[in-house]
Structures are given as C-alpha cells and as structure tokens.
Structure 1
C-alpha cells in the first residue's frame, strides 16, 4: 500500500478516538454492547470501553478508547477479586475472539468460574481505538519477512503520527497504567492478573510501575523485561527444534519414520540460505522457512517431525500454509512496544554473530534485523534503561513455563523468578507455548493459586520429567 493510502487508513481509524480535552481528564468506563456472537456462550458477559488520555498528565491530550469485556463468574467465591487478562503479542487482541474462547471446554475450566475475568484489548490493538494495524504488511515474532514489509510498517506508523497519534504512548508502561485506570474506574479494591506470552511483560510493568491493588499474578509462558528479543532469538528457535528432534529420536515410531532428522534439517537450511526455493510455481525464501520454524516450534511440536520431513522431501505445504496466514499482529502496536522497551538495548550485529555457526538459526537473522531497521526509522520518544531491569516484587506470582518454547524459554523464567519473593515456578514437560490452554493440570493450578496464592500449587498431575512425547504422524 502506498504512503498516501496509509494516511487515509490512519485517518479513518483516528476518527474513532474521542476528541481532545482542554485539560487532563479522569479515566471513565462507558458500558457498551458486546461485539460478536455470544448466543452459544453460557456465561454472562458485560462489555464497554475504558476512556483515558493518550498522553497522561498533558493538557489537551487526545482521549483514546480501550475495549473491555467482563466475564461474570458462574459460581463466584466470596473474597476473590476479578482477574484481568492480558493478551500476548505485542500486537495481539482478546475481546473480538472472546466468544470463541468461552465456548472451548478447556477455557470453561478456569475462566469465569470462581472469579470475574476482565478481558481488555491493550491500547493500540484489537477493538481499541486507535488500532495501530497496518493492512497489507506481514510481521511475525521473527520480524518482517521482507524489506517491503518493513517499509510498509514504517510508512504506516508515520501516517499514524501525521494524524496525531503519539507513538511514544503505546508500550508496556502505558498499558500498566491503563490497567490501574480500569481498576479505579470499575471501583475495584483488588485485582488478580493473568498474562500469556507478551502479556507477562505487561504484568512485569504493572508489578514494577503500578502495583497498587494487585493481589496475585499468574504468568503463562513468561517473557521478562531483561530478556533479549533478537539477540539469541534465532538460536533459541534452533534449540527448541533440537529438543523436539531429540524427543522424536527416543520414540521408536518417530525415529523409524524420520531418521537422521537433525542432519537433514541442517542440510535443507543451507539450501534455502543459498537462494530462494521455487516449488509448484511459487517461490519461498529463507525468511519464509525461518518464520515457519519459529511458529511451528512455538505451538505445533507434536507435528514438527512430520512436517519437517515433508519439507525435506520437497513438500512445502507447511511453509505455504504459514506464509498465507502470517498477518495476525497489529504491526504498529507490535513495533512501538519493541522499539521502546526491547530493541534499543540489543545489538543488530550480534544477531548474526550468535547464529553464524548454525544454519537453522541463520534462517531468522535477516528478518530479526529488519525489526531493528524499522525502529531506527520511527520515533517512539525517550528510552529508559529501567525497562530492562529485572522485576523485584513481593506480590505472589505463579510462573507456568513450557519445556519447548523458542520465544519464552524456561531458563528465562528460572532466572527472572529470583526477583519474585515466594514465586512458584512450574516447568511443564513436553508442553509448548501457552501452557494453560493446552494442559489440564495447569488450569487446575491457576484456579487453586488464585483461590489461595500463599499455598504451594499441587504438581502431582504434571507429566514426569522423562515422559515420552506423543507425536502426530498422519
């Protein structure tokens, strides 16, 4: 899309923003009709919008809208405060997809049972306004897959800025303050927090900057502030794939079907690094394969040996499916967070240096470096080293980490938890990113922990550390 088209799109979005005020105004919650089909949802859900100043403390600040949906507890227990759910990303969303979530049997085991659960679309994303989405561009956790995507994201953000969006106000610290404003607007004395993936980074900002009223915190697939997103990122993907391949090698059926998988994968990576691969009349790049590998090792470890074997043998269907579905982030929101609180503290050159000896890791170097290139071209305001400091808190916190997770490796959780007095760390064998949604034992732990944060969670339902992994072959 051309820059002029981005300006038009940004203008359309900013029309949704509440008009500026002559002086700093108090946050306000305005009830509104829920968006989506809740006809098959058994819980009662109330919706609305939190209206806050975009730039807190500044006169004549624009007012922005943050979408909120409150799932009322089906069997509320006295004394338990609401849980505020913080989605991942950055650049994700929660509210529009809530009807589908609430229809899943797994979600009904812990969401809106004992406590109200409050879902928000963090400022800059989802149904909130403005939503810093950049249609026509692609972006994954590995970065923009092409230079064209990177240029498009920059043009998009520049267009938002031209229309008055203050890009320095879309980051974890501001979301943390939004959560406190929501607590006040809803007149909640206490809240609990549940965050998934990058939502745990928001929790860390709340615990560091705005902890008032927070009683207990669950971090699912934790991402701590002190972690490096791009430096070491490609190697983390390769390590996760190595873990899966090692687990395949000790399962007789998997080992028989996919012999010598690690060596074959390395050889395939070298071929893709040497130049684009044309299959079935379509061309795919090393960026495409690297992005696929990161995404697949995040969520689809049980299928990974099967799909790697397909690609090795020339069937690029798994990569093609990924390429066709990688427009799932609000790209502008993603980049304002990373450019403010993550990438300024990392070295672009170090990405390549660390991955130089591993062909699988090298597949992700170029796309991760493009994130740095985007950040150099947009202005997100002053950078604070405080946003890279480990959190120190006494708020009871339960960490649920997956054994297989290229984005949020369990070693990061173990290190970060040292600053959490009394924090409980659970590493789930054979699990992948998003532990609670995939593991019934984790769901029981969440409810038990929120019911009594001072008690150790029951780990007896967890798989043993040496439990073999179950793979899908068909």
Structure 2
C-alpha cells in the first residue's frame, strides 16, 4: 500500500507464470534526454526507456512495452574491504500504481539541500513498473477516485471497470501486469544495462515487487531493504479494516497515556465508535450542510493513519468530526486520484483479491464499528475484479518468501496498511534478515529521519553486520500530538 508522498520518495509467481514467451525478444535500453529543468550539478543522470515483451507467461504474444528509467550515478562510490564497488540499487515504488520517474526531478532538487539523501555510495536506478508512470502503456483512469480503502463510491467502481475494459479493448493484456512479470523486467534491465548483481530498495508495495525478484530472479540479488513492507502473503482487503481500527486504537491509546491529552479528549475511543455507528447508518451532514458518506470517512481514516501529521492531529480531528465539523473528512475527499488506477487494479485482480473474499472481509470487521466503516469501499474492489476477469496468479504468488538474501526490514509502529506483525511474520522466511520497528513512526519510515536513512545505508555497505539501533526512539517515547487543529 502507498501514499502519494511515498510514491515519490520511497526507494521504490507461480513457476510457470514466468515461462519465457515463445518468441521472446531481447530487452533494449534506449537513452533519451532528461527534462531540461532537472538540476545537473548534483549528480550525473541518464534517462531512457527499457523495451521488453508484454507477455511473460508463454502466450507467444509479440507485443512490446516500454518502461521509463532514470539512472543516477553515485556521488562517492563506496568500496568494501576487498576493494569491490557496491552494486547498483534498484528502487521500487509502491502502490501498486505509484511512480518514481516523474518525481526524479524533485528528488534531485532535494539533493541540493541534503546531498546525503541518496545515491552517495551506490548508483541508483528509478523506474516506473510496467503499466504506469511514464511508461507505455500507462494505465491511468482520469476522473476515477481510488484509495487504499478502495473506490469511495459506486460511480468510481463503475468508472474503474469501464477504464480497465477500455485498456483491454486497446489490446492490453491485463494479466501481464503483476509482480512476477515485473521481476522478469528487472532481470531484463540488468541484462540490457550490463549489470550483474543489484541491491533492492522499496517502500510499501515496492517490497512486494522485491519479493518477486528474490523469488524468481535470486541470481541477480545481493541484498534488499524493505521499508514499511507489504509481503506476498498479505491480504489486501481481508483484515485491513481491523488494521485501521488497531491503528486508531494505538494512536488514541497514546493520547490517553498522556494526562494533558487524556483530559482534552476523555473517552475518545468510545465516543468515536458511537460516531462511526452514525456513519454506518447513512450519510452524515456537517454543520455547514455538506453531506458525506461512510466511504468518505473510510478514506479519511486510512489516509490519516498513514500520515505522520495526520496521526498527530487525529484526536483533535476526531473531536471535530464528532462535533459536526467535517472539514477533516472534506480535506481528504478533495484529492483521491493519486494512483495509476489501471496498474493498481491489474495487480490486485491478479495477485491479491483472488485469494480473498467479500465474506471474509465483512466477517473480520463485524462487531467493530471503526473497522466496519472500511468494508463498503473495500468490497467494491471485488466487484471490479469480477467484471474485468483477469486470470488468478498461481498459488506461489501468495506464499511467504523463503530466502537467504540479506534483507533489512524497517517498519513503523503505526501503520494501517503494513503493520509490524505483518513485517515480523514475513521476516521469518528470510534467514539473513534484520527487523527494525520504529516507535511512533508511520508508513514510509526510512526517509523520515537521518537515523533510519543511515541505518539502511550502513546495511547496504555491509549486510552481514548488525545495524546500529542506538539512534532509535525508546519504546516509551510519547507521541507529540497537534492540538492547534482543533481551532476553526
């Protein structure tokens, strides 16, 4: 899962599903000019596109697609004790349906302020995964709203179905846009660029792609960093309502543990649960007369508990909502179009939702009004997939990874989509893994502090050494809440 910010700053299988097409063609990298407004003094940069086969499942289709790439040269290449330079880092965006190439200019501009942010020790490759970003095809669905809580209305559901069927009518095979196929693209990229080993770095859904590379192309991987990871065995819809409810409970529990916060927001958990029941009963009108639905509250809860600022202002925002000031909900509702929705749904309908069901979704949330708020919008995802008719992935695509590739897992204590228990369970299959859970952190944790950035950088310098956790906040560190949000 992913937020807009993580799509820009995060460093980015059935065995027969990767059988080579009958007429497989060689991958081709074509260099192109980078945008003229990108800064040129901070790093050497190459831009281009990788042309690969669309079909990765033995169908024999000769259709070719393009993936957009940016290659950023290291400022001061690091060499290990043997004098060997470290491999290139390939960064994977989240989503699915995020992008990286479009944000590369902003990332390079940020290096003017913080030259140590990235691409110091190792060359970095940013690329937009097949089906989205600056590649071709790029399966955006303009005008359709979609969040990690699903389509917020029946109209958005229907718009997604029409959009996806439109791409099918253009000859695009949605079955070919998934993690396993992207892993084959990474192998082709390594071949076309003359690389050997690579390191992997991804955030949110990016680690789902990393897991596919490790599963299907382990020969090209030296080490991996996974930030706020989503593993293959995770359930996208089933369990998510409970995870959001748990995130709310954690945040409000941290408020109750502080005398001042508890005094300002007495019994807030119980009062908000009563408020959630009102939204479940039908549309709710605010003091200004504007009306919102339970799906709008669902999107608010998901996005707010993902956000560092949203988490800190949640008690104050919930007080507003209970009092009839629905401006926090309205603010989220203003912009819910931050995915390449076609790419997003192609992944979900292939490798996530076929292993889940509406019945399990509803049963898991039953009895918890905060969790139940998420059920209607998440249920619409199943409707979209049923209408589009992708072939389900083979069962291996939903199984935990077993590997000895050295891997650093960094997860946030507060994360409604990729919570710590999911990370800890996934890491059990990585025999050379280290797991770091950061107190009070939220989704997209590595780039949130110099401490975690250094931790990840040091890990890639020597994946066999224990990471230094001394800079992390203690487990009992209070969460700093924002109360100014109560004004207005």
Q: TM-score, normalised by structure 2?
A: 0.90
Q: 1:228: how far off? A: 1.0
Give yes or no for the alignment of 1:406 onto 2:416: yes
Q: 1:432 pairs with 439, 442, 463, which one?
A: 442
Matching residue of 1:104: 110
State how far apart, in whole Å, the 2-side matches of 1:143 and 1:339 are: 13
Give yes or no for the alignment of 1:80 onto 2:47: no
State how far apart, in whole Å, the 2-side matches of 1:38 and 1:353 are: 50
Q: How many residues in Structure 1 have an aligned counterpart in Structure 2?
A: 454
Backbone CA RMSD of aligned residues: 1.7
Residues 171/60 of structure 1: CA separation in 2 closer, same or farther (3 Å cut)? closer
Written as runs of structure 1 = structure 2, the 5 A alignment for 1:289-308 is 289-299=297-307, 300-308=310-318
Comparing 203-212 with 278-287, which one deviates more in the overlay? 278-287
The answer (yes or no) to whether the contact 2:202–2:227 under 8 Å persists in 1 is yes
Matching residue of 2:292: 284
Residues 344/131 of structure 1: CA separation in 2 closer, same or farther (3 Å cut)? same
Matching residue of 2:66: 65
Residues 302/109 of structure 1: CA separation in 2 closer, same or farther (3 Å cut)? farther
Give yes or no for the alignment of 1:243 onto 2:250: yes
Give yes or no for the alignment of 1:166 onto 2:173: yes
State how far apart, in whole Å, the 2-side matches of 1:304 and 1:102 are: 33
Matching residue of 1:471: 481
State how far apart, in whole Å, the 1-side matches of 2:46 and 2:69 are: 8
The answer (yes or no) to whether the contact 1:41–1:102 under 8 Å persists in 2 is no
Matching residue of 1:15: none
Matching residue of 1:140: 147
Q: 1:422 pairs with 416, 421, 432, which one?
A: 432
Q: 1:126 pairs with 133, 143, 146, which one?
A: 133
Q: 1:75: how far off? A: 1.2
State how far apart, in whole Å, the 2-side matches of 1:316 and 1:212 are: 52
State how far apart, in whole Å, the 2-side matches of 1:437 and 1:394 are: 26
The unaligned stretches of length 5 or more in structure 1 are: 1-20
Give yes or no for the alignment of 1:187 onto 2:194: yes
Matching residue of 1:16: none
State how far apart, in whole Å, the 2-side matches of 1:351 and 1:24 are: 40
State how far apart, in whole Å, the 1-side matches of 2:444 and 2:364 are: 27
**Tell me, what secondary structure is at the counterpart of 1:119?**
strand
Q: 1:381: how far off? A: 2.5
State how far apart, in whole Å, the 1-side matches of 2:131 and 2:261 are: 44
The answer (yes or no) to whether the contact 1:36–1:99 under 8 Å persists in 2 is no
Q: TM-score, normalised by structure 1?
A: 0.93
Q: 1:295: how far off? A: 0.8
State how far apart, in whole Å, the 2-side matches of 1:433 and 1:455 are: 25
The unaligned stretches of length 5 or more in structure 2 are: 1-20, 80-84
State how far apart, in whole Å, the 2-side matches of 1:291 and 1:41 are: 41
- The one-character-per-residue Cα deviations of 1:318-364 (angstroms, maximum 9, x if unpaired) are 11111111100111111110111111111211111111111111111
